[in-house]
Structure 1
Amino acid sequence: MSSNRFLGAALAAAARGWSVFPLQPHSKIPAIKNWPQEATTDETRIKEFWPPKSRKNVGIATGPSGLHVIDLDTHHGLDGPAALYRLATQTGARATLLTYSVATPNNGRHLYYQVPDGLHLPNTAGLIAPGIDSRGHGGYVLAAGSQTGDGNYRVLTPRPPSELPPWLLRLLTPPQSHAPAANPGAPLSHPGAYLRAIVDAETRKVTAAVHGTRNTALFWAAFRLGRLVGGGELDQRLVHDGLAAAAAVHIGHYQFTARELERTITSGLTIGARRPRHLPTATNSR
């Protein structure tokens, strides 16, 4: 472990696969230009950023790190933690608040969530609720071990980040009138081998999911395949029916119903279609 707490914090974050860059001492301001491109997990580069006596804070570039961080504020009469807890309770998803978390000065919280490759969620301010911001593509947060004039950032829950839960994703991606709709008559109603392999992999994940992960697995499978539906690569009905068949094995177990199955698939397909994915022509052959 490094004797320099800031270098140690940077290396600890990088060991988790998170891209880091230096901030000015006791500050939230980047100490380098082009930090989105300069953020790194490379140990040699990190040691160059933080020489032995450096007091620079540690920034984590959330987008390159595959993270979306929920920032819960308690300033100016706001109570972000309580607001998020209420929302999670209303959706019956309090367990999804269990993820890697950092205590910020003034009793705030940062909740770290993993996002799938290719999902670029922007930063938000008050979109979920007053006192709740988030940092995603194009944003950054101060890593645990950093220090400002208000106090220290410290690890609160050291467990690995959970996957961003579907209910939070829905709140972070409100309906958009210009978003492309899923096309039930997309060109590839009979996908080629490459696309079949993608569909098969996703449906296997759904069938193999266990209680506690079942809804999340079904939602993210629908989301990923919904991106291909939105891009005109897959037929919506084919995808829907494949996911429904894969998830049907869970009906009747732990109160899982056909109605819940339908709602989860529809939600995942709809949100996924707003972020179309197009495959290279070379792989998109029948």
Structure 2
Amino acid sequence: MATTDRHAVPLATLALAHALSAAERGLAVIPLSRTKLPALRSPHRDEPAPAPCHGECGRPGHGVYDATTDPARIRALFAAAPRATGYGIACGLPPHHLIGIDLDTKSGTDSSAALRELALRHLFTIPDTVVVATPSGGRHVWLSGPPDVVVPNSAGRLAPGIDIRGAGGYLVGPGSRTAQGVYSAVPGTAHLPVAPCPPALLRLLTPPPRAHHRSPAHPDQQGRPGQQGQQGQGLVQFVLAAHAGQRNTRLFWAACRAYESDLGDTLTEALVEAAIRTGLTEREARSTIASAARLTQHNADA
């Protein structure tokens, strides 16, 4: 990203320069502290029972939900975080829909070898793309996903030592300085375009929702199990396709349609799981579904 002399300027200024450089490539960023956590504290931290907020209040301090490519907004975020020493790059957002393959070394496993084994087994090749070296000796491989596919975050699910950063997650950007050291682009990769994720790997990163056992159909629903199953799967996929700013809205709409079709209780767990995969917490998901259930019941009683 940006090239500057770190001994000549404050770390926060360096971090801002790198963040602005990343934003020029269409990557949405936030300021990070030396701990790799968002540098801005939540504006709701002193509230006794804060309602879920992803930045709708208009104040900074919502982690990855603050991520932006707007230079003025980025400068404002860093001005509010004078101790920032790095920046995070939000995954899953347009135009790149970034997916991060985090090859860790702390687990004691050879995660690079594990990725090569997966590639051989599933017949895909990691294309030339941006690769970032971490202070611990690991690697972050950047890939681009399609706009209609939500890749969830995961840790060790693909293989031991391989973590995935997807929708709702972020990667530490090259040039960031943390308590462990500096993140830097692997030579020869810094200015490469973010390569598309191979289809075979993308399939591994987006497992289908778990199948849930359904209770016997109500007598007035018999004869329509295929139709109900198709409708339920469509609602789950509708939630999975949500991007930042759409997650609660899409989940609420899908839950309303499910309860209106007498599928609410059947689909609740699948909808919760889908919402979690897009970045919502379980508490947020269940609260939204409960609101949809109450509204649907109220409309039915009216």
What letter matches 2:37 in structure 1? I
Q: CA deviation at 1:177?
A: 4.3
* Counterpart contact for 1:63–1:120, Cα < 8 Å: yes
Q: Percent identity?
A: 43
> Which residue number corresponds to residue 278 of structure 1?
none
SS in 1 for 2:39: coil
Matches within 5 A, 1:1-286: 4-24=13-33, 26-32=34-40, 33-51=61-79, 55-65=84-94, 66-94=97-125, 96-156=126-186, 157-158=189-190, 159-178=192-211, 231=234
Q: Retained in 1: the 8 A contact 2:35–2:178?
A: yes
TM-fit CA distance, 1:133: 0.5
Deviations 1:198-251 (A, max 9, x none): xxxxxxxxxxxxxxxxxxxxxxxxxxxxxxxx759xxxxxxxxxxxxxxxxxxx
Q: Distance in 2 between the 1:57 and 1:144 partners?
A: 8
TM-score w.r.t. structure 2 length? 0.55
The offset of 1:8, in angstroms, is 1.5
Residues 40 and 177 (structure 1 numbering): CA distance in 2 closer, same or farther, change over 3 Å? closer
Give, as a single letter, the amino acid of the residue that structure 2 aligns with 1:161. Answer: V
Q: Contact 2:107–2:161 (CA<8 Å) still a contact in 1?
A: no
The Cα of 1:149 is off from its aligned counterpart by 1.9
Deviations 1:114-136 (A, max 9, x none): 11213221101111100000111
**Which residue number corresponds to residue 300 of structure 2?**
none
Query: Alpha-carbon deviation of 1:175?
Result: 4.1
Cα deviation, residue 174, structure 1? 2.8
Q: Counterpart amino acid of 1:6?
A: A
Which residue identity lines up with residue 159 of structure 2 in the other structure?
A
Once the two structures are TM-superposed, the CA of residue 54 in structure 1 deviates from its matched residue by 5.2
Taking the aligned partners of 2:84 and 2:155, their CA distance within structure 1 comes to 29
> Over aligned residue pairs, what C-alpha RMSD do you find?
2.9
SS in 1 for 2:118: helix
Partner of 2:158: helix, strand, or coil?
Answer: strand
For the residue of structure 2 that corresponds to 1:37, the secondary structure is: helix
Partner of 1:200: none
Counterparts of 1:86 and 1:41, CA distance in 2: 36
- 2:211 aligned partner, one-letter code: H
Distance in 1 separating the partners of 2:15 and 2:182 = 12
Q: Mark the CA change 1:90 to 1:98 in structure 2 (over 3 Å): closer, same or farther.
A: farther
Structure 1 letter corresponding to 2:88: G
Normalised to the residue count of structure 1, the TM-score between the two structures is 0.58
Q: In 2, distance between residues paired with 1:112 and 1:21?
A: 18
Mapped partners of 2:74, 2:208: distance in 1: 40
SS at match of 1:89: helix
- What secondary structure sits across from 1:60 in the alignment? strand
Where 1:50 maps in the other structure, the secondary structure is helix
2:142–2:194 Cα contact (<8 Å) kept = yes
Q: 1:31 to 1:49 in 2, by over 3 A?
A: same
Distance 1:54 1:7 in 2: 11
User: How much does 1:90 deviate?
Assistant: 3.0
How many residues align structurally?
186
* CA drift at 1:5: 1.8
